[in-house]
Structure 1
């Protein structure tokens, strides 16, 4: 399976790669397609178990789809659709309300009901020019710590960060072990990990001495004080000209901490995690809404036939969602559009202008306001 996956993604898995893979690998969560003689793997899909945070703080179990590939010699034969159909029927049978993935190509998963739920914003900061506003407090409290010390404290900080961040994924001990193993092949020519820790946050980063660049690898902050203190420390690093971060939110607070917000330069912005709703009532009743809403959603799902009409009634204090025929304003949408709305990152108005939502303008404006999260969704864990 690893050989087939490596061929599809253009990499050779070494023994060190395989050791890392085995830490996370559960064969019961994977499916393969075999050729006619049954002795060659020509298609793979698998999943990891996660909990994902919804707007309002509730967490739902979800399957993180991964390792999706079909051999170049067996394309256009329906293998991908057959694998994903079997896999997702299993998710439904297991009672999972959501499936998630990160896509190597953007044109594949919409037809399977996945919509973009988080965005990656890659930025570069010229450290010497990035000056904090004079009124930004210097609260201190940051220390440089060892990997062993951060391994003990980071999981609880990350859990607190995830509880308040829509889209955030849980991490098992195995995920933490892989992250802190810090293999040579993970470094891309830069240093081993360095760590800064605050009682309410941490950041792990590498230094590329050849380019005098600090690459942020992982960061989680459970309070605004920790966020500001860690960024203040990063901006004070010696022998660093540029700070690079790959997965900031579209409206990341750091740019507003600076006297000149333009010093946070966006060099790329692209899709992050995609979401596919498997159980509409369970997913929509678990989250909170920015304003009161009472609407019937007519959801289309040609892939799994998990759509239908559902009445959603909710607000800041809770929600209910149940099958319905009428009784409230109607909005029509596909399952992929619902996946984009679920975590609060998408604009219903933009989806409507693209032909992905249908309804009266006043109703769509209400949906847009209600589905917005309290902060931009971030998933935080690559899979």
Structure 2
């Protein structure tokens, strides 16, 4: 909950019955994908229904997709997805790891903004699906006096199914406001030097802790249908550039790093190579010791903690792989927070500096 305790004031020379307002401030609203409230059937069904009903995520005709979703997928998938969430759930906090990590990231970014701007900036987070909703946080920021809001989708790479749908929801929330704040959205930061540096440092630390250097680093990005690339989505190109910049920063050869894509869903062909298949091929080709990182995720979540560290690891080991190392997302690592805070500062120029 945002602090709305600042003294309320009326505009100069206003009548006594004029509504009072809090002092004008700037809001920084971080946005991540979302999380179910719990891993039980109905919590999972609500979350999956919202997620899979998003036309940015599944763009098939609703006349075809919705009967399939409501009558078949949502009767079965909440059980399997719920079991997957249960296996990674933060039971102590009663929330998913994504929620815990996003809270930690927000707290650290808030401290960085406080140090730089004092009480002129408010920092909070929202989720595209589930809670806290984008609409509720936009309203809280408006009530707290934010006449300007910087909206920051926490996706290094742009994709219609991530950055765009987060922005869509933000603008829908803005449509409900009688007095709309001035707004900016943050562009993808997939090639920002501080982001690449944070990634490189995390790889170097992980490798330093291993007894044997991995034969190859697999950079596994969340996939999208290849049709999206053909329709103009820049996601594939941005992922490839991140891998190249990371390779150059590390000073590695092409044979030491590889780009793959995970989380295929539905009958369409998606961006290739598929991570789950590629790790098996690597094992069969003699690469018995591999490391996997997930540069497209700003925080560990179901796709990294369960899919990579369980399903993809199992595929590698089943094909004869011996040593599988998952390198965690940047999460609330200090270098990552510095990178995100730098991006925020660059986007606040002209508003505060």
TM-score after normalising by structure 2: 0.28
Name whichever structure is richer in strand by fraction. Answer: 1
Higher fraction of helix: 2
**TM-score, reference length from structure 1:** 0.27
